[in-house]
Amino acid sequence: MENNAGLVRRIGKRVLDPGIGLHADEELTGKVRRDLLDLAYRNNWANVLVNLAASASLVVMFWLRGDLSRGTVIWLLVVTVVCGFRLWGGYLYWLVRENFTELSDALLRKWRFRYQAGVIFTGLLWSVVGLTVIPTVRGESQFLTMIIIAGMAGGATGILAPVFLVGRLYLCALLLPPAVILMVMEDASYILAALVLVFLLVMLVTHRNNHAVLFKSFVLKHQNQELIEDLKQKNRVTEDWNATLEARVEQRTEELRDLVEHDALTGIYNRDGIVAWFESRKRSDALLDYAVLFIDLDRFKQINDGLSHAIGDEVLRAVSMRLGECVGQQHALGRWGGDEFLIVLAAPHHELHPLVEDTVELAQQAVSQPINIVGHTLHVGFSTGVAFSSGRNPSIAELIHWADLAAAEVKRSGRGSVHNYDKMLLTEQERRLSVTQALRRAMSADEFNIQYQPVIDAVTGEITAYEALLRWNSETLGPVSPDEFIPIAEESALIVDIGQWCMRQACQALQDHPEIPATTKIAINVSIRQIVMPNFADMVSRILKETGLPAERLALEVTESIFEKRQTTQIATVLDQLHAMGIEIFIDDFGTGYSSLSRLHEIHVDAVKIDKSFILAMDENARVVIEAAILIAHRFGLKVIAEGIETSYQRAELIAMGVDACQGYFFARPGEMPCHDIHWQTDLIKQGDRQS
Ligand code: C2E
Ligand code: CA
Ligand code: CA
């Protein structure tokens, strides 16, 4: 029973359900219905014309065969009138559709009804033919009528596919009456009746399938449209979101950039800010020249350490505010770090120099006003270094570097408070750079050699020592004076390796000349940087061991800066060790540095070398210094060596004052070891030597 009921339902659905199991929602179904109606009306004229043609040919056929009756003619007239109405109805429908893109439910119902009525009416007219004509005609006429009706039904499966129930009713109206009549009439033709019924069944199935395909394709069309709409909507939402997000990201980036490019304490640009400002200014106006003012506060450390860091911060804030008032919108003010400020001025070439002068003056006036902070009245000054971009198109880093150097020069020289980083400083700087670079390769390229200058006993005229003087013949720079490259080597610590090489070379040189008396020493210049290296004394004794030179034949020349250095005790310990080994210690360039005579006893020293500047001058003042030095040195038991003696006059004076040994161009220039032609004439003291 269950199965039967299900079967009936399924058949019912196939026969009666226009959606044929497709469950579209009501709204969608409504849209599909409107599409189907449109299509039905589009097919309307074809359906009507086929009807007209078929009915006309039927009537003509009867007329030709002599079967034409009055009733048939009236039928044809009715058919023509109905067809006329249907065409007229179709025309009206398109007029309505022109005004309404979307039909209301009421309009839909109205126009569907009219269409269906037209179809059903036409179908009924053909039922009349089936019921009245088939039984009355025989033979060929009957067959031809059937063929015309069957042809009409076949065409209807496609043309009436948009209307489901009515389409099926139309098919039935066409084919059922002849089938019934063929069975019940006098000479019933069962075979033909069965054939018609089978044909009807096939047409019904075809019509249903056609309708199903139409329905599904319209459903799909609308679902696709909905999808597209949906996507468009979502796109719009995403676009809106993106726009808001972008705006927020931009705002946040702006805030972050502000944070990153400004100094937290003073609110002016920090390093990054200044660089960014410069880059963007240069991009927006390529024709401007730039000047960087490096402003370094004087004695700020005293305020910071002496009062407090909080007061130091207040001073920095006050200074930055005052500087800000001197710098226009089109220029930039930044804090480079600590107590250093930067002003970057941008202007056409001819305006830049006056602008710098004005700005410096304004800044000095503003900053020099007393600063009052919690009961303290503070006076702040500053040194300024200026660098100009003019014609060189330097990077901001270079400009700042030059201005910084110029400011440092102001501090160092103590002259004035503004210094321009001029060409000379630039060349100096570049020279230093190339010397440093060449120095790094000099050792491995074997560019060093040593010259030896004799030190002569003031009484006997014998050579008591040779001083080793380093020479550098650079492949790229040519000969470079030790006065130039030694300080640079000291800065970069290259001096440690160079000094060690020099010491080994010099010790070996003395060993290589057995004809030189065993009492003659080798004097080697040693930098503080070498002495403070761990195991310096070990290094020296290793070289002595390697070369086989007795420690007593080695003297080390150190400058007075050993007294000034913080590591005095460490230096003293090392020098003590060396002294204990038998090595002599000479104080070089005596009188120019920081040592006072009274400190000579703090370190084991064997001799002092009076600086050549005193000997070359040899005026009253120099004479006082030399005499005092000799007096005190002798009291401490030290020898005194005079270096830089160029004339016999100087030689005679110094010997008269009591120096123990002499050195200088007068006796011999630095050269090969051993030295064979020492200039040593006691009787050659001439007046003219004073000036030479
Ligand atoms: P210094 O130790 O005072 O060396 C003496 C300098 O005076 C040498 O210059 C020498 O050539 C020069 N001199 C000698 N007699 C006279 C003279 O009669 N008149 C004048 N005007 N000058 C004279 P040099 O060779 O150019 O050396 C310059 C400085 O370089 C040395 O001054 C020394 O401080 C440093 N130096 C040289 N070789 C070495 C070394 O191997 N190691 C270290 N650390 N420094 C060295
Ligand atoms: Ca020396
Ligand atoms: Ca010297």
- Write the pLDDT tens digit of every residue in 404-422: 888 887 776 664 567 666 6
Confidence of residue 685 (pLDDT cuts 50, 70, 90): very low
Q: What is the pLDDT of residues 114-162, one digit of tens each?
A: 999 999 999 999 999 888 888 888 778 888 888 888 888 888 889 999 9
Atom of ligand 1 nearest to the CA of 481: 26
Ligand 1 centroid – CA 413 distance (Å): 25
| Rounded CA separation 602/568 (Å) | 9
Higher pLDDT, 304 or 289: 289
pLDDT at 569: 81
Ligand nearest the Cα of residue 667 is 1
Q: What is the pLDDT of residues 672-681, one digit of tens each?
A: 998 887 876 5
| Rounded CA separation 204/11 (Å) | 13
Residue 301 pLDDT exceeds 90 = no
Express as a percent the part of the chain with pLDDT over 90.
52
Instruction: Tell me the mean pLDDT in the region 413-439.
Output: 72
Long-range contacts of 650-654 (CB under 8 A, 24+ apart): 650/615, 650/616, 650/618, 650/689, 651/685, 652/685, 653/618, 653/623, 654/458, 654/615, 654/626
| Rounded CA separation 270/265 (Å) | 10
- For residues 442-478, b (16+ Cβ closer than 10 Å) or e, as one string? beeeebbebebbbbbebeeeebbbbbbbbebebeebe
Mutation test residue for ligand 1: of 450, 451, 469, the one with most atoms within 8 Å of CB: 469
**Strand pairing report for 371-373 and 448-457:** unpaired
| Rounded CA separation 685/670 (Å) | 23
Ligand 2 centroid – CA 559 distance (Å): 8
Task: Please give the backbone phi and psi of residue 297, each rounded to the nearest 5 degrees, phi first.
Answer: -65, 145
Residue 525 pLDDT exceeds 60 = yes
Residue having the nearest C-alpha atom to atom 35 of ligand 1: 482
- Token match 């078929």: residue? 54
Residue 21 pLDDT exceeds 70 = no
Ligand 1 centroid – CA 424 distance (Å): 26
Q: Is 264 helix (H, G, I), strand (E, B) or coil?
A: coil
Ligand 2 centroid – CA 471 distance (Å): 13
Ligand 1 centroid – CA 319 distance (Å): 47
pLDDT at 378: 85
Atom of ligand 1 nearest to the CA of 611: 3
Residues 6+ apart with CB under 8 A from 360: 293, 384, 386, 418
Ligand 3 centroid – CA 643 distance (Å): 7
Residue having the nearest C-alpha atom to atom 22 of ligand 1: 644
Residue 251 pLDDT exceeds 90 = no
pLDDT at 688: 39
Residues 6+ apart with CB under 8 A from 266: 316, 317, 320, 321, 335
Protein residues with C-beta less than 5 angstroms from the ion ligand 2: 525, 557, 588
Our CA angle for 596, 599, 603, nearest 5°, is 135
Burial class (CB in 10 A: 0-12, 13-18, 19+), 22: middle
Long-range contacts of 499-502 (CB under 8 A, 24+ apart): 499/526, 499/527, 499/530, 500/530, 500/539, 500/543, 501/443, 501/448, 502/448, 502/450, 502/468, 502/470
pLDDT at 448: 97
pLDDT at 65: 84
Residue having the nearest C-alpha atom to atom 20 of ligand 1: 644
Residue having the nearest C-alpha atom to atom 17 of ligand 1: 644
Q: Is 611 helix (H, G, I), strand (E, B) or coil?
A: coil
Residue 174 pLDDT exceeds 70 = yes
In single-letter form, the type of residue at position 629 comes to A
Ligand 2 centroid – CA 557 distance (Å): 6
| Average pLDDT of every residue of the chain | 88
Ligand nearest the Cα of residue 590 is 3
Ligand 1 centroid – CA 541 distance (Å): 24
Residue having the nearest C-alpha atom to atom 33 of ligand 1: 525
Instruction: Tell me the mean pLDDT in the region 632-646.
Output: 93
pLDDT at 134: 82
pLDDT at 410: 79
Higher pLDDT, 389 or 392: 389
Q: Where are the alpha helices (DSSP H) in 414-521?
A: 423-442, 482-491, 494-511
Ligand nearest the Cα of residue 469 is 1
Atom of ligand 1 nearest to the CA of 469: 38
Ligand 3 centroid – CA 600 distance (Å): 17
Mutation test residue for ligand 1: of 643, 645, 647, 650, the one with most atoms within 8 Å of CB: 643
Instruction: Tell me the mean pLDDT in the region 76-87.
Output: 94
Against a cut of 0.85, is the pTM above it?
Answer: no
Task: Please give the backbone phi and psi of residue 13, each rounded to the nearest 5 degrees, phi first.
Answer: -65, -45
| Rounded CA separation 134/296 (Å) | 123
pLDDT at 514: 95
Question: 666 and 456 in contact (C-beta within 8 Å)?
Answer: no
Residues with CB under 6 A from ligand 1: 453, 468-470, 481-483, 486, 499, 502, 525-527, 557, 588-589, 612, 643-646, 664-665, 670
- Token match 């160092």: residue? 412
pLDDT at 416: 52
Atom of ligand 1 nearest to the CA of 503: 41
Ligand 1 centroid – CA 440 distance (Å): 22
Question: 381 and 368 in contact (C-beta within 8 Å)?
Answer: yes
Higher pLDDT, 311 or 539: 539
Confidence of residue 691 (pLDDT cuts 50, 70, 90): very low
Ligand nearest the Cα of residue 452 is 1
Residue 58 pLDDT exceeds 80 = yes
Residue 566 pLDDT exceeds 70 = no
Higher pLDDT, 184 or 16: 184
How many residues does the structure list for the chain? 692
Atom of ligand 1 nearest to the CA of 490: 44
**Could you say which DSSP state residue 477 is in?**
T
Question: 200 and 167 in contact (C-beta within 8 Å)?
Answer: no
